[in-house]
Structure 1
């Protein structure tokens, strides 16, 4: 396992000051490489719209192109088993939970009638795709979210600065980011900043080869999960060690 580092890349600590925490689905935090890739995709879509050209969305039937992120690459187990040198979010000053909100939804019968001329007399709210829902929303309540990475600090800051909210249910006020802070740590261990949380536990999905010879690193066990963005795409999923 080696790190592919280009000029200007150094170990970084990225810190987001949160208004009230963040909502997310998986049991670990939001990935930094996922945030950067998402912002690049948004910029690409905006440029395509401004130019009046087509934008090709992700499809489960095609292999997505790897974006050029301002991060170093860890070779992992070789071949296609590489990943970006960045961790998932680590909450600082976290208020112990669990913290759970609930959101609800129900079909608007009048709106459905305006959109279709072949509706049944009544759209059931108890079954089917238009049934009413009450869903839990787990929250991580904390003052800051922290990521470690090896990358270009200026390029990372340029991509993160426009992001004002992260996580799920952003439209309801969750995941509001007050400010971003990026600190350089040029003398830090590059492997550690690419893989571990500040508490020395595994901080991202990683091949077993990444931890070979690194001692007893706490992990979340093994499972099948994405190794790099887009994490939920079928072709990105492989057997990995999971973060804590």
Structure 2
């Protein structure tokens, strides 16, 4: 049975509608898949960049923390150095005050005379030389000359050896010296300094840990005090 033109047109329209529907469904499927892939890729890129940003700021944070530690350490060291300087200045002031008091010792002639004899005899025991020259302050020349026989007798009583003592009349200790003596022997090759300043310096070095402890208390970080 032959189809009429109307039937042919109807079937053609029906086929076209079916093809169009298939095309639309395929297009929607492609769009949905593309949207899904886009969201997946977008999520991956966002996560990737987020991790990079997090790593960047974590690195920056560590750098800042390290810088803070370095700065804190530097400031702490500077503070410690300032404390040490203040303490050393204080110790120096104490020693300067001691030197000022030493300068007053020669004012007490009796005490100073006994001290001079002791200083001379102590140095003689170190020298053990038969001939010794004393260098003193010019102001002490007469006083020391009057003490030579006493010093010689004290030396001989303990070591049973004679010696000749004389005061140097040309070379004197500086006038600003607090007092005491220098002993010279063996034609100037041997010299012992026994001035009041040298004795103070020696005692200060030996007692420096005790001086610091007395002024500032015991240092808990110090195991030995020598």
- TM category (shorter chain) comes to under 0.3
TM-score, length of structure 1 as denominator length: 0.25
Structure having the larger proportion of residues in strand: 1
Question: Larger relative CO (CA 8 A, sep 6+): 1 or 2?
Answer: 1
Structure having the larger proportion of residues in helix: 2
Q: Tell which structure's C-alpha radius of gyration is larger.
A: 2
